[in-house]
Structure 1
Amino acid sequence: MGLTSNKVLVLAIVLAAALFIGTVWLWPRLARQSWRTVIGRVGLMLTTQLALFVSVGLAANQAFGFYASWADLFGQETDQGVVVDHAAGGGTGGPIQVLSSSDVQGVRGTGSQTTGQVQKVDIVGRKSHIATPAFVYLPPEYFQPQYRTRTFPAAVVLTGYPGTAQALVDKLRYPRTAQQLAKSGRMQPMILVMMRPTVAPPRDTECVDIPGGPQAETFFAQDLPEAVLAHYRVGKRPGGWGVIGDSTGGYCALKLAMHHPNVYAAAAGLSPYYKAPIDPTTGDLFHGDKNLQNRADLNWLLKHEQAPDTSLLVTSSKVGEHNYKDTLKFITRVQNTKLTRISSIILDSGGHNFNTWRREIPAMLQWMSGRLTDR
């Protein structure tokens, strides 16, 4: 049974409840003062607390999608992606292979022409040699005969670290929200490419081209748009592409648009930070390259280089978010530039979690829709 299986969660809860009841039932028998009863009391307490901790941890992982598997949790997911070229009919060729497809859940109607479609795909990078899974949301209009020649704007949607792409579909409900907003006329139909920024698991690359290591920025700035353009009816750059993310994905989104404004016309960072961290999950990202390290600091970039011609949106909360003051400083710094445009969503209160981001996503998607073209 997988880490995210409901059966595992139910089993953990049942075990924790049984241990709690057992502790209450057996406690009088263990009340005597002997070394055996003392060890018994300590053992029951520790075992019950461990079971409760596991249950809470599994429930939190189910809710927020931190880890996708046991191997992911214990850091055993170390194999690098291997490029495999695929074409329709099982041959070799295209950079995207569609593994499965399904209607968008949680909306009225059946069939792709009514609900839209979510495809599970594998994407391979021609230049970066990175291979990674993703989910692609195609709006209902994509399948309707009257729009068969129309192209659509596209947005890359990134999770935090470690994150799971499935959480963007099930927990943050991007396809459902986009379908409902477009149906009500509040945004234009858009294609969403949903994935992790962790393209070289378990390492957190912070979307950096690491010297001698994974070329994550090249993948997102060149390989991914080219692969999607070759496979789907998306608007040609510039102007047709945006990038969205939360937490680490939010930092990546802002950086990609600022580094590559000719690729991404707009970026939205939900609870982002503004400088790549160096910690055990990232390792040495820059290998002594001071210019690379400086350009990964978005405030340094605005101060020392020409401001990019792109639109940015950032979000935070006055209470509950650690990035609130940094976000206000970033907004002020962008306002002092000539070309970069800045917008924000500031909640009165909200944490660094899915519930907060779900409150921000509808307004953010409408903002993104207004800044992209389908040509």
Structure 2
Amino acid sequence: MSLTGTPFYITTIVLAIAALIVAMVAWNHIPGPKPIKIFVRLFMLVTCQVTAILMVFVMVNNANSLYDTWDDFLGTGGGHVTEARDPAPPPAPEQKLLTQFKSAPDGKMGDGVQETTLKGPQSAVEAEVYVWLPPQYKDPAYKDKKFPVVELLPGYPGSAKAWFGTLKVNEQLKSLMNKGEVAPFILVSPRTKLLGGNEDTGCADIPGKANADTWISGDVRRMVIDNFRAESDAKHWAIAGYSAGGHCAMRMALLHPDRYRAGVSLSGYNDPKGEPDSATSKDPALRVSANPLTILKNAPQPPHVSLYLAGEKGDGFGDAQEIRQNAKPPTSITVAQISGGGHGTDVWRNMVPDVFRWLTNEMR
């Protein structure tokens, strides 16, 4: 039974209610000696708590798109790396990275989301990618137009579906695009949980494990350009994320100004120690090299990139201020302070319109 499916969700509700009813009815009617009665009552209490916790977990997981499958949750599934090796050179221009798309079956992501499984020739990663095309894409008036692109990264744990399912980015932006308030961006969300077990890559290339950076900024980017009417110049590309995905977006925009002109971090962080399950936090050298502040300070020249950094005090705001204090033109930093709401998807979902208005202005 699917972890995120409606049948399992309903089953957990039924089990929680049934466990409570059985305990209430049977509490004073348990036969046998006193020790047996005590043991059975304790068992019923534990059963009530376990079923209630399971129901709440499924509700939270479905609402926040934390885990897609039981394997993701239990850490028992294999990774999405077909071969642990150094990144390969990008394919030649004539070698198109074509792939087959189908409508995403998960109705929670709204209309128009397409899904494919991409085998990345550079990264040796094979995983799912979700793409949403703006309403103008099929308009005859735009038949010769190429479109700007925003890559969307979830937090950890987090599903590639989260931006469409939990943050409802496509539903929120469709009307704004039709009104001309937001540019008609192609939205792309690749899987970022690539390793087996409960280990995150931090969106970096981890020697001997996974080329996550090459997957996101190389293979996925190339696939979008080869399969859709997408702009290829960096000035038409942006990358955005929340929480651990915000750290990734900030880091990658600063590291690859030749691929992204803008980056958005919602409640992200600089030092990877903020994500204890990340491979970059466990390796001292990677922890330093993956820090966006280190990348900014060590850049041979200030990267031509614009960053929108949002956070609450104690949750990303201080990190954003550090980046702004160390940035020099043409690096442009916009810092937004989040007032209350905590570290959660409700906050980031409400920020989507303003974030994309900012992206529209920066990339116009």
Q: Which of 260, 285, 294 pairs up with 2:288? A: 294
Q: Indicate if the aligned counterparts of 1:244 and 1:250 stay in contact, CA closer than 8 A.
A: yes
- In 1, Cα distance between the equivalents of 2:321 and 2:274? 23
The Cα shift of 1:356 comes to 0.8
What stretches of structure 1 of length at least 5 have no aligned partner? 84-92, 108-114
The residue type equivalent to 1:131 in the other structure is: E
1:341 aligned residue (307, 332, 336): 332
Cα gap change, 1:214 to 1:64, in 2 (>3 Å): same
Q: Are the equivalent residues in 2 in contact too, given 1:211–1:287 (CA < 8 A)?
A: no
Give the secondary-structure state (helix, strand or coil) at the position aligned to 1:38: helix
- When the two structures are superposed, what TM-score results if normalisation uses the length of structure 1? 0.85
Aligned-partner Cα distance in 2 for 1:265–1:151:
17
Compute the displacement of 1:103 (Å).
11
Q: Distance in 2 between matches of 1:56 and 1:20?
A: 15
8 Å CA contact retained: 1:309, 1:339 = yes
Separation of aligned partners in 2, 1:272 and 1:283: 17
Q: Give the corresponding residue for 2:9.
A: 9
Following superposition, the deviation at residue 106 of structure 1 comes to: 10
**Aligned ranges 1:202-351 → 2 under 5 Å:** 202=197, 203-277=199-273, 281-283=277-279, 290=285, 292-305=286-299, 306-318=301-313, 322-334=315-327, 337-351=328-342
Aligned to 1:348, what secondary structure does the other structure show?
Answer: coil
* Maintained 8 Å contact 1:312/1:343: yes
Per-residue CA deviations over 1:275-320 (Å, capped at 9, x if unaligned) read 22387733477866x3x442211222333434321000111235xx
Aligned residue number for residue 147 of structure 2: 152
CA contact (8 A) 2:244 2:275 kept: no
Q: Structure 1 residues 106 and 285, CA, compared in 2 at 3 Å: closer, same or farther?
A: closer
Q: In the TM superposition, what is the alpha-carbon distance from 1:215 to its structure 2 partner?
A: 1.2
> SS of the residue aligned with 1:294?
helix
Paired residues of 1:106 and 1:176 also in contact (CA < 8 A): no
Q: Give the number of aligned pairs.
A: 351
Consecutive unaligned residues in structure 2, runs of 5 or more: 84-94
Q: TM-score, normalised by structure 2?
A: 0.88
Residue 272 of structure 2 aligns to a residue whose secondary structure is coil
Tell me which residue corresponds to 1:358.
349
| Higher deviation after alignment, 364-373 or 134-143 | 364-373
CA–CA separation in structure 2 for the residues paired with 1:73 and 1:192: 26
| Percentage of identical aligned residues | 27
Deviations 1:1-60 (A, max 9, x none): 200011111111111111112212222235997111110111111111111111111111
The equivalent residue for 1:124 is 119
